[in-house]
Structure 1
Amino acid sequence: MKSISIKSLIISLVLLLGAGLAWAMKPTHKIADDNSKINLETLVPKQFGDWRLDEKAMPVVTNPELQAVIDKIYSQTLARTYVNGKGERIMLSIAYGGNQSDGLQVHKPEVCYPAQGFQIFNTAKGALPLDKINEAIPVKRLVATQGARHEPITYWTTVGDQVALDGLQWRLAQLKYGLTGNIPDGLLFRISSIDPDDTRAFALQDRFVNDLMDALNSAGQARLIGKLGKPGNLSVP
């Protein structure tokens, strides 16, 4: 009876120690507080290269339940439609969150599009080459359909200063910051176009991103794509 009590006491002490250690190591400092405040509205120009803001484009209406989730996750969102001289259109959506902790992960297209009644097909990882700086952004490509609407999508997400496409990469990046007591910020950058030809749509989207990055200084680029060339950033399994 006595040995059982001692064993129970040891187990209780270990559990308490573990709980205390977890509390002590819980990250509390937001790295977003160390940087200049991001303003998506001014960061992304309304006109660059051959692209200009399409003032006539109708905003996408989000159902109230999904909008409530988005408002909780993100501190800033930006939704625009751009058109070029050929009349080709790109829909841009950026969502930024200053706290990418466990409960505030980015809301990915694989989740939000089905919530709007779309079906998702052909999800795959890829790399979007940035020609002028000889780098590539790890991205995900997918296609959303609803009735006759065929919408190829390219997107990436960042955690702190690196791109993290899947759950494992996201967790590893989060752990890296958490071990130093920091809470990373992050964003989701998504572009899409209405086009039955996926190859043509993705090529147009790549050109749009290149034109946008050419219009930004290095600080602006880093805000949207992190620091490319870091270990793990360019590996696309």
Structure 2
Amino acid sequence: MIARRDVLFGGGLLVAAGAAAALTPRKNVVLLPAGRELESMIPKTIGSWQAVPSDLFVLPKTEGSLADKLYNQTVTRLYESPTALPVMLVMAYGSIQNDALQLHRPETCYAAVGFQISSSRVDAIDVGGRAKVPVRELTATAERRIEPIIYWTRIGDSLPTSGREQRVSKLEQQFEGIIPDGILVRMSTVAEPDEATFAALRGFASAMLTAVAPADRAVLVGTTISGRLR
């Protein structure tokens, strides 16, 4: 005769097995086409800005680190303009977002090299039509440098604005059996962190998305928002 506790124990194992199966991703969803280089997708001239060489960047990875394994492709450029603030653009793309490999948000990267995050808020970039890109705006401060930052992360087709939202998005996609790709898009400058500076960064971000070929925009902001862009 089977004891009741054995039935309950067996049922618990079945539930656990079912949950594990539900959390086992079965499909990779990659928005960057095979063979495409992120570097070639981002124009070197954006509005009045022109890309120039620079080594001023706080980078989301270092050689040989876990982040080095996470990111398949990166773009780092300084854009200068005769009529606007210079902008440092950093993009870091990872073809797999799972429990071991997931995008590092700038709050972590800047703190790791000695910056303090003195402000953080959520905003949105109006890029025309019905499209708005949710972003996080930060101020990173070191002894001799103040760096206003705006950035967004894309996980699959989701644009989470916090670490918690990023984890929830990844978990929701796992429940759907999906391993998504992801990208960090970050723009910053060295200036006073006032509203005019952040407005200039948002203006660059909007101009950059408009300058990217329509077929490539989903890599940066996902299929839903890219479909609304004009």
Q: Does TM-score exceed 0.5, indicating one fold?
A: yes
User: 2:165: which partner in 1?
Assistant: 169
User: 1:233: which partner in 2?
Assistant: none
Alignment match of 1:212 (pick from 201, 208, 212): 208
The structural deviation recorded for 1:59 is: 4.9
- Quickly say closer, same or farther: Cα 1:59–1:221, change in 2 above 3 A: same
Summarize deviations over 1:5-31 as a string: whole Å, max 9, x none. 824423431342134223422113211
The 3-state SS of whatever aligns with 2:151 is strand
Runs of 4+ residues over 4 Å off in structure 1: 61-67
Alignment match of 1:199 (pick from 192, 195, 216): 195
Distance 1:9 1:105 in 2: 39
Distance 2:41 2:85 in 1: 23
Distance 2:113 2:64 in 1: 11
- Quickly say closer, same or farther: Cα 1:74–1:35, change in 2 above 3 A: closer
Percent of residue pairs bearing the same amino acid type: 33
Q: Indicate the RMSD between aligned Cα atoms, in angstroms.
A: 2.7
> Do the aligned residues in 2 keep the contact of 1:127 with 1:136 (CA within 8 Å)?
yes
The 3-state SS of whatever aligns with 1:52 is strand
User: 2:221: which partner in 1?
Assistant: 225
Summarize deviations over 1:169-225 as a string: whole Å, max 9, x none. 334433443233211111111110000242222111111112112212322222111
Look up the equivalent residue of 2:138 and give its one-letter code.
L
Aligned length: 224
Look up the equivalent residue of 1:18 and give its one-letter code.
V
The structural deviation recorded for 1:118 is: 0.3
User: 1:24: which partner in 2?
Assistant: 21
Distance 1:142 1:63 in 2: 15
Look up the equivalent residue of 1:86 and give its one-letter code.
T
The structural deviation recorded for 1:166 is: 2.1
Consecutive unaligned residues in structure 2, runs of 5 or more: none
The structural deviation recorded for 1:64 is: 8.0
TM-score with structure 2 setting the length = 0.85
TM-score with structure 1 setting the length = 0.83
